[in-house]
Amino acid sequence: MCFTQDHLYFDDMAVGQEWESYGRTVTEADLVNFSGLSGDFNPIHVDAEFARNTPFRARIAHGILVFSFASGMASTTPRVRTIAMKAIQDWQFKEPVFIGDTVRLRSRIANIEVRGRGRRAIITWHRQVLNQDNKVVQEGHSVTLVEGRANAQHADDNDTDKIQDNTPLQLTAQAS
């Protein structure tokens, strides 16, 4: 993904700012596809008869599947100039997510640590995955490396330092 003018630098954000993503409804196809991709065919995810006899009374989504949805939502809400994911800290699976549930992500900036003479920062995010009833089903912290305006300025400065030759290019054909 290339960054656009809509993508925020860390300089555009402050501790305490909060965003909430769009919703994403969990489907049976999601569970089936994730089972195939991950190799996790635990009957709580794939066997309706088995799941009916559990405390959940129905199949539940893989916790990591829901986390993956959250990761995708985090990449667009807000749009940030993220260079790298550094860590996931203290991630908790608090409630089950069922087929038909709609989840969304709430992201709040918990800390910003400026690095590289202001060219980047490490941002610690407090993330919560909420269901359609506003129950927190997962939560924890993610740590990302985010580009700063000084980095963009540094790149612009390097571009202007280059010698530019504006003479027209002349092509000549040689007979062989």
The pLDDT of residue 81 is 95
Residue 154 binned pLDDT confidence (cut-offs 50, 70, 90): low
Average confidence (pLDDT) over 55-61: 98
Average confidence (pLDDT) over 18-42: 98
Render pLDDT for 111-153 as a digit per residue (tens, 0 to 9). Answer: 999 999 999 999 999 999 999 999 999 999 999 999 999 877 6
- What single DSSP character describes residue 80? B
Smallest CA-to-CA distance from 112 within 27, 17, 20 is with 17
Query: Is residue 71 within a helix (H) or strand (E), and if so which, with residue range?
Result: helix 63-74
128 CB contacts (<8 Å, ≥6 apart)? 105, 106, 136, 138, 139
Predicted TM-score (pTM) of the model is 0.83
The pLDDT of residue 157 is 55
Q: Please name each of the domains of the chain with its CATH number.
A: 10-153 (3.10.129.10)
Report the alpha-carbon angle 147-19-126, nearest 5. Answer: 75
Render pLDDT for 60-93 as a digit per residue (tens, 0 to 9). Answer: 999 999 999 999 999 999 999 999 999 999 999 9
What is the torsional sign of CA 119, 5, 144, 136? positive
The percent of residues in the chain predicted with pLDDT above 70, rounded, is: 86
